[in-house]
Amino acid sequence: KVYLKSTDGKGNVGIETKSITVVPPKVDGVNLASGKPAEASSFQPDSVGCPCPAANAVDGSFGTRWASDWSDQQWIQVDLGATSSFDHVQLAWEAAYAK
């Protein structure tokens, strides 16, 4: 929610509260990883919003996520099934602490 308070030059006050939804930008191209087998060094099995296994990273949903253990040097890999050419990787980053 956004809370906005404004005052005009005569001292009149206006207050408004609005709910907004943040949506990811539209991405052109093909998601080569969608639905492919994924493995990770670890995942959070049972916490708020989890389990969060590696498969969540490639399920095409912004409502799920992969979450690693709370330690450094974690990794995830996706088996694309064949040699593939691509020119970029796009990550949808969850709004939590990360390095």
pLDDT, residue 4, reads 82
Pick the closest to residue 86 from 31, 46, 48, 37 (CA basis). 31
Q: Looking at the 3D structure of the chain, how many domains does it have?
A: 1
Please check the confidence at residue 98 and state whether its pLDDT lies above 70: no
- Does the residue 90 lie in any domain? yes
pLDDT at 97: 65
CATH code assigned at 66: 2.60.120.260
Residues 59/65/68/74 CA torsion (nearest 10 deg) = 60
Q: Which domain holds residue 88?
A: 25-94
- Structural domain includes residue 2: no
Q: Is residue 66 in a domain? A: yes
Q: Residue 89 pLDDT > 80, yes or no?
A: yes
Higher local confidence (pLDDT), 26 or 72 = 72
pLDDT of res. 81: 95
Tokens for 76?
């995830």
Reply yes or no on whether the pLDDT at 35 is more than 80: yes
pLDDT of residue 39: 96
State CA 39 to chain mean position distance: 18
- Is 43's pLDDT higher than 80? yes
Going by C-alpha positions, the residue among 33, 41, 77 that lies closest to residue 59 is: 33
Percent of the chain with pLDDT over 90: 34
pTM: 0.65
